[in-house]
Amino acid sequence: MKTIEHWINGSPTAGTSPETAPVFNPATGQEQARVALASAADVDTAVTAATAAFETWSESSLTQRTQVMFAFRQLLVEHEEELGRIISTEHGKTVDDARGEITRGREVVEFACGLGDVLKGSFSDQVSRGVDVHNFRQPLGVVAGITPFNFPAMVPLWMHPIAIATGNTFILKPSERDPSAANFVAELYKRAGLPDGVFNVVHGGKEAVDAILTHSGVEAVSFVGSTPIARYVHETATAHGKRVQALGGAKNHAVVLPDADLEFAANHITAGAYGSAGERCMAVSVAVAVGTAADGLVEILERKAGEVKVGPGDVPGIEMGPLVTKASQQRVENAVGTAATQGATVVVDGRGLKIDGHESGFFTGPSLLDHVTTEMDAYKEELFGPVLAVVRVDSLDEAIGVINANPYGNGTALFTGSGEAARRFQRNVKVGMIGVNVPVPVPMSYYSFGGWKDSLIGDSPIHGPEGIRFYTRPKVVTTRWPQPKQQVTAGFNFPTSS
């Protein structure tokens, strides 16, 4: 049985802890590897290596850093298929879906390649007689990322390219459910010319997380995961003097107005709900059908849910793979049963799906629930699985009210042909990322990703301009260069421009 080790100071490292955890192939249900679980001592080793590397990396030229990023970006292109299959084998998503997440992560690398323009400071000449002012930004030091299982390549790539390109060193603690992508990325960084110790990977559970959150040598922590853990990360790390990005859970609504093209809307909502088996923080989990749109929308959604091709992620043509664990499969299927007992109509029932030759895999089919109310568990809970709930309302204003009353505010979408309705929706809805006729509104890398309310703990979104600000801090310099022998009178009052 293969053991997946940590990556510290430029090479695989077994670590000091004998503890390991199983890594499954979700399509077969079989254990395929063990992953080492780091102790606090292992985290300290990684911090020590990153601290030493920071001394030289932070002094490297911007040209050197961007050259590494350009080389790393090219390696991601060349090894996209291999990395995609690694992700598919451990996560369960299709290889095509995995390639898609690599592409979206690579966009952040491309943004990092252009940091020369973004990092330019400003200069003010002659703010007072003979006095100039300028500012610039500097890296923090050792920073860390704690990332979820659902995007083992993309979410870390939203963090470390910007952190590294701005001169920091990085420690990644990926999910122990699908750890191999992180080590593969570490090898690509080494091949790209990144010095040892600048990028490190420690695998583990709560002990490793707590060690990162409390270590005095870690300056900042980025986190993506559930809201309760995001709160814990934010509270613990800030209590220990760190900057924190903490992105939490979601319950994303797609509103469909009667004037929308229902075939178009249903097609995109189906992909948004069941893509990656619904294991996305931006998945469409609620369709809000307004007025006369409801019956026709549900009819088309039922047909399209039945057309989704479910199977092993490495089989060509498959659109939806298994869930990541047996526990996830059971939790999602139990949620469908609970919805039925609470009064929802189970239009499409994905429970009990068996795939020939993969009977032990963690598969469940798409489920579609109609007549769901906001009091039902299927609406209130983030199911993180292929379950779409339909909530019926009478007006756009009522739909906006439903969304605004929800504790989450990550992403939302509106399907309509009305510019007036779209403008009213995007101005009044209390959500951080909005799509108009776009079901999954993940912004491009040069914008920042982050929701509102319980979907973002604190106030620091991820990547884009906010990512630059998060991983750097500003300095403002005021200078005077008097001529030789020039007498400059010093005042004892608070200085003013003159």
Residues with active-site annotation: 281
Q: Which two tokens stand for residue 433?
A: 């990322």
Widest CA span in the chain:
90
Taking the CA atoms of the chain, what radius of gyration do you get in angstroms?
25
CA distance 495 to 333: 69
Cα–Cα dist 256/283, whole Å: 16
Spatial separation of the C-alpha atoms in residues 239 and 463, rounded to whole Å: 24
Q: Reduced to 3 states, what is the DSSP secondary structure of residue 409?
A: strand
Which tokens is 390 given? 């339909």
Helix (H, G, I), strand (E, B) or coil at 397: helix
List CB contacts of 233: < 8 A, sequence separation 6 or more: 146, 209, 213, 221, 223, 225, 244, 246, 457
User: DSSP 3-state assignment of 155?
Assistant: helix
Residues in the chain: 498
CB within 8 Å of 484: residues ≥ 6 apart: none
Q: How far apart are CA 390 and CA 289, in angstroms?
A: 7
Chain center to CA of 232: 17
Q: How many CB atoms lie within 10 A of CB 75?
A: 19
Residue with tokens 């659109």: 319
User: Bridge-partner residues for 210, per DSSP?
Assistant: none
Ramachandran assignment for 401, one of left (phi > 0), alpha (psi -120 to 50 degrees), beta (any other): alpha
251 closest CA partner among 294, 286, 218, 203: 286
Axis crossing angle, helix 293-307 with helix 262-274, rounded to the nearest 10: 50
The secondary structure element, H or E, covering residue 341 is: helix 326-341
* Strand pairing category for 220-224 and 452-453: unpaired
Strand order in the sheet with 3-4: 3-4, 30-36, 20-25
Spatial separation of the C-alpha atoms in residues 454 and 435, rounded to whole Å: 19
Tokens of 85: 């299959």
